[in-house]
Structure 1
């Protein structure tokens, strides 16, 4: 009996053999077969043991109804030969047979006759089923469960309903369609739909979709737009489930995974995870995150969220080169960029990735391996270093040391763009905090101190999970944005937070809050509570030391405002603050709540995170600034019994001494590093306690 392929403890296993899920993409049909072996030798030279590839439907079906998987019509169609070569060379395989693959291929890799139909149409699925019936028998003998080397199977690529091109066909324009099927599943009756939308329809077929709301104050507009986004998410999941079921029915018994865009809008990553074994993000940032001031923060946050939805936090397409056209947005991708990306991904808690593309091909630049199997010297050595550091670090075995989480709801991101605009996320990044994400939709990942970062609406189940977090002993901090409405825009406030009695203008506001032993300065409008239901939090007006010496600010100085409160709920605590979040305020709240910060850079522009494997500690730090610097990172002193420690640089192989709690590490501009912290007598303390990884 052949061993099963399973996912456990953030690893992929064939029987009891662990497969390191760090891989690279090689497209056999885009390379001359005489260079396959040379290219794969270079892949092996990097230290990788896993190779991924698409299987293009439109290429293997060379004529309508005629398929070639053995290279009879063209040597580059010899899928079987490529799989045999991978097997002979000892590689594990990630297979991606579609239907869709995109990959800068015409019609996304499906034949033109199929591309005319949207993914959920019976016409497309009938055609796609034929493709699946052709390609699956070719691949089945290579499954690891049958003695082969295929360990992961992707049933479709970056599922997108393409609603902008199929509006009428999906019921989003002027004829009924799938959108109305979705509405009937969501609402029990037309009366319930009318109540949510503020409409007067007599049947579901009359309902018209709103992708945007031109009338934000109109009753029902909010719910109507949310239902457009929910339909996108529903469509993706419906089709993903269909693909997974088809392949399962055809005998595929290795783990299935789905991948998605990094924007978290058209795809709800949490819901996609329910129909496959794991999910994966695809990410292609600009060189050194140069396209936006928030690019690096958003990159980290989207990767952090993978820990909330996937049993193995995985990057399905980790930028390794870029396609023609998009290179104008990314710029030339440098060796330094790849190191910065890799360190950032490890800092975020990623446990595996697939470099796309590891070998150059048509329409693709800046990979470390040439189409003819030669290394690009300016890149190849850096990739070797990255792989060696990954092996020393063993990311699946690492425990991220943090007791802090921020909330992230996919529907908030889709409808409100919160991952780009939320001030709590921005403040946490500027503070240099490391954290996980708590998804209100599934309750993962729980941490003791939870900051609400999201919209002012959240469905009942999500609000209930926030409440349970507090009642069971957690700490929840909310600022001006907190859930007061449900997912249909109706009043719902399970946290029972009262409206402020007043809102004071942001003009001339410079107030100080003493919290956690810190004197924190805040600016912006103030929410004022005359009768707070807990211990009052007071802000005192201060005079701007750089302001004009007029009488008005002098007279106003010293004015006291109750801007929030601290309230016990069950075994936990609710903290309400009617001010804008700031980096110092987030740090002060940690101190006040006695929640440790296990690692934080005291040097601006540097992010840091601390991990543990057994009794060994590892520090990962990233400098996204344009200047090289020695970064001072403060570690939680309770982790170590002695102040003296050794820092072993996993990149350079050098060792230096340091005195805890502050360690200084060298960081080049736009780069990152990994160090093992070796103390002679590590503490027996086991953070983060009951709150897990």
Structure 2
């Protein structure tokens, strides 16, 4: 592969290309307008466009495809040639799943209606996706016949794509599938119980344990072989010794996603499509999504997460962005809302798109794809319409955004932070398994009936000492969330990650704040001790693990007591009360370059690679105008970089921000 993936973008022929792109659906637009529309995209400052290539749109009959012979607007070859003519690079997303508000999410209807391909519920019934357009049965990504059908499509499309690969052509990246997450039905016991999925689950167990006697020892069972092990259809464990069985089902749910992505990526590699491969989670950064494990594979280079945020969602999407910044090799949002689909509750206005876009970069995003930069059917709120009219306020923002990013080469800047909040991934697994299946998973994902989720939550916590019963979902972690609020109020910047992070990446941080409970994977316990022994500092709470995930006793933290503990050349602090964290941070003398007097505002500081230039972001994520003092050491000049005013001061200045706004200053000391 001639393209190198880095945290700041792709390196092509020795030059770094930041990944700032926008989506355009060629087949939904008049072919005669393609070039003019692309020129408008280029005029905003974009150097990369992204497009789906939908299987169901191009298939005429099984094994027969129209790439422009019948309908001219399906001519993907010509579209790519025009991109090359204009000097634009391209990211392609050929599925097989694409969504795109298409009736069958980009699949041919015949594939979805094939019984050998359909996913099953725990009761053996079809698993239906009840979308706003038309419901359909969900395909199983464990189905062998599914991949045979996908191969027919890939075989036909690959020769076209191969002619346009970098360096000869414009294609610099390919997305393997789209939002692979059991079609939003990621509850542990909703799907997939198809025959092929159960076989894959049993093979997963065989890979994990090697022989059936080892599994029987962990489960307390007497199976004769792995083919006798059937997955759980709901959570009904009565004793903690039964939990390894459920942990393995959750692990399999994660495994099936990565298995399918690797398989799809290899199918492209086998057909000569050798460019960086990425994937996009729908919104989740918890089980069954596993960013670190996916990026550890040879087949997946980058694992991003999509987001369509209204400005009121700031504190929610901020956590997702901080997680990507602390976890991914290239923090990337493959779909970021530039406009929204037709049934979205609230269409984004230009000022809102400005606020949400600048705020995700403020919190650590390095790469972004604006979906959609060009409007199409079932979509509204994009800067360029499907008939190539320009919406001036939207268009002006994206042009200003591209100018800012280019002027400062912002992709090279690094956010100044030394703290990371680490979520225990296995705690999320426990919360996932602890739910029974939810009937809401079988109804409309866009609304419809709502059945109280409490009806599907087990009340058995197995006499664990530290589990927070208020945490109801693998996304929840009240202890860390409260610490994050305290850090924000005190102007300590931070990233978020989980316990799958490798130790070499943990060592980027001065302080790790780890959520820990009664159990923790034994390899993670070892890793935490190793990090501390090498000079790292860890704050753990609200509990100390004394079990591994097989519910066997461990002793790694047996000598740890409340408060400060010296471990090798580092330290482990054990606290129960999250409010103690600020006192520990002050004791560790972790510096803050800037302090705000008003905690309603938030800030992030970025430095250039040579550390000679600084960019200071300050956000007002509230609905009211906010005034604050900004404190610092010495005399400094603050020069407008984004929607700010030039100001200078000795030790302090006063700033004022309008509701839901961001200002950026270039700082001279």
- 1:645 to 2:636 alignment: yes
- 1:321 to 2:343 alignment: no
Q: Distance in 2 between matches of 1:377 and 1:657?
A: 34
1:521-576: CA deviations, max 9, x gaps?
A: xxxxxxxxxxx5xxxxxxxxxxxxxxxxxxxxxxxxxxxxxxx3211111011111
- 1:597 to 2:592 alignment: yes
**Which deviates the most, 333-342 or 463-472?**
333-342
Q: Which residue of 2 aligns with 1:612?
A: 607
Contact 1:223 1:489 in 2 (8 A): yes
Residue 418 of structure 1, CA deviation: 5.1
Q: What's the TM-score, normalizing by structure 1?
A: 0.80
Aligned with 1:296 (options 297, 306, 314): 314
Unaligned runs of 5+ in 2: 118-139, 432-472
Q: Which residue of 2 aligns with 1:31?
A: 29
For residues 404-443 of structure 1, what are the structure 2 equivalents within 5 Å? 404-416=419-431, 417=473, 419-432=475-488, 433-441=492-500, 442-443=502-503
Q: Distance in 2 between matches of 1:26 and 1:421?
A: 38
Residue 170 of structure 1, CA deviation: 4.9
Larger Rg: 1
Distance 1:134 1:206, change over 3 A: same
Q: Distance in 1 between matches of 2:642 and 2:264?
A: 42
Residue 112 of structure 1, CA deviation: 2.3
Distance 1:250 1:617, change over 3 A: same
Q: Distance in 1 between matches of 2:213 and 2:355?
A: 54
**Which deviates the most, 275-284 or 401-410?**
275-284
Residue 198 of structure 1, CA deviation: 4.0
Q: Distance in 1 between matches of 2:382 and 2:195?
A: 39
Q: Which residue of 2 aligns with 1:516?
A: none
Aligned with 1:14 (options 9, 12, 15): 12
- 1:144 to 2:162 alignment: no
Residue 277 of structure 1, CA deviation: 4.8
Distance 1:568 1:658, change over 3 A: same
For residues 125-274 of structure 1, what are the structure 2 equivalents within 5 Å? 125-145=147-167, 147-161=168-182, 167-170=192-195, 176-210=198-232, 212-215=234-237, 217-264=238-285, 265-274=287-296
Contact 1:339 1:382 in 2 (8 A): yes
Q: Which residue of 1 aligns with 2:564?
A: 566
Contact 1:401 1:598 in 2 (8 A): no
- 1:657 to 2:652 alignment: no
Q: Distance in 2 between matches of 1:44 and 1:388?
A: 12
Q: Distance in 2 between matches of 1:97 and 1:391?
A: 30
For residues 273-352 of structure 1, what are the structure 2 equivalents within 5 Å? 273-275=295-297, 276-289=299-312, 295-325=313-343, 327-328=344-345, 331-352=346-367
Q: Secondary structure at the match of 2:267?
A: helix
Q: Secondary structure at the match of 2:36?
A: helix
Aligned with 1:666 (options 649, 656, 665): 656
- 1:452 to 2:449 alignment: no
Query: CA-atom RMSD, angstroms?
Result: 2.4
Q: Distance in 2 between matches of 1:200 and 1:313?
A: 45
Q: Distance in 2 between matches of 1:448 and 1:674?
A: 26
Q: What's the TM-score, normalizing by structure 2?
A: 0.83
Q: Distance in 1 between matches of 2:329 and 2:658?
A: 33
Q: Distance in 2 between matches of 1:204 and 1:272?
A: 26
Distance 1:620 1:675, change over 3 A: same
1:357-389: CA deviations, max 9, x gaps?
A: 111111112222211111223422222222222
Contact 1:25 1:53 in 2 (8 A): yes
Contact 2:35 2:82 in 1 (8 A): yes
For residues 367-516 of structure 1, what are the structure 2 equivalents within 5 Å? 367-416=382-431, 417=473, 419-432=475-488, 433-441=492-500, 442-443=502-503, 444-446=505-507, 447-453=509-515, 455-496=517-558
